[in-house]
Amino acid sequence: MKQRWLVVVCLVLTGTLLNSCKREQVIDAHAAFTHEILDENFTVPVRIKLINSSTGGNRFKWTFEGGKPVSSDKQDPGIIVFNEAGSYNIKLETWNEDSRDEKSVLIDLDSSVTVDFSTEILVNDFAPAQVRITNNTIGASGFSWSFSGGSPGSSSQQEPGTITFSEPGDHEITLTVSNGRKTFTLRKTITLKESLQPAFSIEPGFEDEDDESPLTATLNNTSIGGITWKWTSTGGAISNDTARSPEIHFTNPGTYTVTLTADNKKEKKSVSNSITVSPDNNLRSFSNIKLGISLAHSSIGSFFSTKLRRKFTAADDLTEAGKDIDIIFYGLSKNFNYNRFISPDSAAHYAFNPIPGAGPVTIINSLEYSPYAAFMSPELFDGMNNDQLLRSITIEPTASSWMQFNNSTVPRILLFKKNNGIKGAIRIKQFVQEEQQSYIVVDIKVQKEPR
């Protein structure tokens, strides 16, 4: 602290010099303060705490260039807020009756940053893909990009442009920006679908699963990454050659090649499959079908439909399927002393519930005592690979139609004819005794269409 001394000339009284002197101390005003950037955040809005450490002064005036408030006459103004980036002067003036002083501090504040960017996948999101990146960041002066799985993998440009991603999956794009003192980071993920992989299977319809002509099949398109399709075939008629999964019809036997060309506006690829259509034998075969005795109808099932190619139990709803049931086995007991195949329209007479829509079927339960023995035998049954033998047999009701049989003859051959003229043969090749779960095992050969 500076001190000054003032010498006061004393009064001269009656010619006598009285050295009645008085010395008085004067204190100089000294301006001083410190400032603290709260949270060490130099990015606007910035909050600055001012601490007055002045001495000697008893009056104060603060000026805050760009601040809020812009001035103050308090000894301690507290916290001042600066909302705009730039260089600003903070000045403190202090004084007393004898002196005046001031101090100024220049502070540099960084701009606020809004980090943002957008991505645009060009053409479509199938890999490989080009992605246009647009930087929407505000207030930054430095940029650092990274592109996971991209080419290039990084960039320091403000606008990185278009990046190529070759592989499917998730790709993270990261932007880190700076305002000179602080960094800000934003991450976004783009997802690319699998690249173009054409694939299909030729799936014959339910009626044509034996691959015999005429044959209608579905071209089941399982391609990945395709948008449009083009089908061609060395034979057969395609229902719609630009549909995703059209049907194809083959009238004649032969081996055919079907080709699918898939396109996704970036790539075009083709794949081919072949199918061999066999000559029409008009014969459908079933092997090892289990049919239970009447007590096993609830568990094993005693009904079978050659059209629907499935067995039915007592629990099945026959509202729709009843009309297509053509084989019913009735076994009285586990001993197989009394067995018959019966017409579906007579099911109610043999301890079964009536079958909705059931039609009549002619059954030849015993060939031993009928003229049919000469036309069908186990050997002839085994040798049937078309319906020629069945076409040659005229199946009409005889006394043997209603005869029962036991398990003394194995194998046993039976004949049947549906109401629509379709003929078939049944071979019983096993009687299995398992108490109330007893059953027979049969093979069936039946015409697909009446001829």
Inform me whether the pLDDT recorded for 44 exceeds 90.
no
Which of 15-29, 54-68, 163-177, 427-441 is predicted with the least confidence, judged by mean pLDDT?
15-29
How sure is the predictor about 131, in pLDDT bands with cuts at 50, 70 and 90? very high
Check residue 400 and give its pLDDT.
Answer: 64
When pLDDT is averaged across residues 259-280 and rounded to a whole number, the result is 97
Q: Topology of 117-192 in CATH?
A: Immunoglobulin-like (2.60.40)
Six-digit token pair at 367?
């060939």
Mean pLDDT rounded to a whole number for the chain:
92
State percent of the chain over pLDDT 90.
Answer: 84
The Cα–Cα gap between 434 and 436 comes to 6
Out of 3.40.605.10, 2.60.40.10, 3.30.470.10, 3.30.365.10, select the CATH number for domain 26-109.
Answer: 2.60.40.10
Inform me whether the pLDDT recorded for 16 exceeds 70.
no
Which of 33-37, 143-147, 302-306 is predicted with the least confidence, judged by mean pLDDT?
33-37
How sure is the predictor about 17, in pLDDT bands with cuts at 50, 70 and 90? very low
Inform me whether the pLDDT recorded for 147 exceeds 50.
yes
Domain with CATH 2.60.40.10 in the chain: 26-109, 117-192, 200-277
When pLDDT is averaged across residues 301-319 and rounded to a whole number, the result is 97
pLDDT in tens, 52-110: 999 999 999 999 999 999 999 999 999 999 998 889 999 999 999 999 999 999 998 88
CATH (residue range 200-277): 2.60.40.10
pLDDT in tens, 198-223: 999 999 999 899 999 999 999 999 99
Inform me whether the pLDDT recorded for 156 exceeds 80.
yes
Inform me whether the pLDDT recorded for 9 exceeds 60.
no
Check residue 112 and give its pLDDT.
Answer: 86
Check residue 6 and give its pLDDT.
Answer: 38
When pLDDT is averaged across residues 428-440 and rounded to a whole number, the result is 97
The reply to whether the predicted model has a pTM over 0.85 is: no
When pLDDT is averaged across residues 40-49 and rounded to a whole number, the result is 89
Check residue 125 and give its pLDDT.
Answer: 96
When pLDDT is averaged across residues 407-429 and rounded to a whole number, the result is 96
Check residue 54 and give its pLDDT.
Answer: 94
Check residue 373 and give its pLDDT.
Answer: 78
Inform me whether the pLDDT recorded for 43 exceeds 90.
no
State percent of the chain over pLDDT 70.
Answer: 94
